[in-house]
Amino acid sequence: MKDLSAAAWNDHYLEGITPWDLQGPCPQILEFTKEPWFSSTASILLPGAGRGHDAIALASMGHNVSAVDFAPGAIKALLQQAKEKKQNVHVFQRDFFSLSNDPFHKERYDIIIEYTFFCAIDPKLRANYIKLAHQLLRPNGYFAGIFFPTTNDKEPPPFVVDREEVLSLFKEGFTGEICEPNISIKPRKGREFLGIFKKTKPQ
């Protein structure tokens, strides 16, 4: 898949070819909510939220959740699921990078949760992604990432991620660490790692 446009991603949803979709919330994201840094009433942003399983699970816990995806098929499924489960999620159908031009989102979020977005975008945009995340987080906010995959023998996406690259991207304006997941689904076990980073100062 060389076309990374909204239309190309939407085709996957229309055709039902979505191997990244776990059909439910990610277990490791649910584990995040047990950590001391995870506020009990956090304002949370999920980039590339897909069908919204994680967004809806977090909303059900009482969090103020915003979900962004530019594929109409993903957004339609997210809204339908939120309606069925009677959960309130703020849903934005737009390119995540366009949030940089919207003052509404600046320093609005306590936590940004990353899973399968970092590996889905053009690697040339990764530095811009982290820079934008810094702008969207409130002072002392957290970026909690599950970075996947560390290996891939198929045509990307997903694009391979590397621990040293991730640490380098967060060296300005954040403090944090790389660690291993508490829980990984079987196909991804040993091919993903966590990055927990706290916003500390202006970039």
Q: Would you state the structure tokens that stand for residue 114, as one six-digit string?
A: 């990353």
Indicate the number of domains in the chain.
1
Give the strand pairing for 174-179 and 43-47: unpaired
Quick one: what percent of the chain has pLDDT higher than 90? 97
Q: Which residue has the tokens 């306590």?
A: 110
Give the model's pLDDT for residue 184: 95
Find all residues with CB under 8 Å of 168, minimum gap 6, and list them. Answer: none
Domain that holds residue 16: 6-199
Q: What is the pLDDT of residues 75-90, one digit of tens each?
A: 999 999 999 999 999 9
Q: Is residue 1 part of a domain?
A: no
Alpha-carbon Rg of the chain, whole angstroms?
16
Give the model's pLDDT for residue 100: 97
Give the model's pLDDT for residue 203: 66
Q: What is the pLDDT of residues 115-164, one digit of tens each?
A: 999 999 999 999 999 999 999 999 999 999 999 999 999 999 999 999 99
Q: Is residue 19 part of a domain?
A: yes
Give the model's pLDDT for residue 192: 98
Q: Is residue 146 part of a domain?
A: yes
Residue 91 — pLDDT band, cuts 50, 70, 90?
very high
Average pLDDT over residues 33-54: 97
| pLDDT exceeds cutoff 90 at 93 | yes
Average pLDDT over residues 168-195: 96
CATH code of the domain in which 164 resides: 3.40.50.150
Helix (H, G, I), strand (E, B) or coil at 23: coil
Q: Is residue 101 part of a domain?
A: yes
Quick one: what percent of the chain has pLDDT higher than 70? 99
Residue 1 — pLDDT band, cuts 50, 70, 90?
low
Average pLDDT over residues 158-185: 97
2 or 156: which leads in pLDDT: 156
Give the strand pairing for 137-147 and 43-47: unpaired
Give the model's pLDDT for residue 200: 94
Average pLDDT, the chain: 96
Give the model's pLDDT for residue 201: 76
Q: What are phi and psi of 137, to 5 degrees?
A: -80, 145
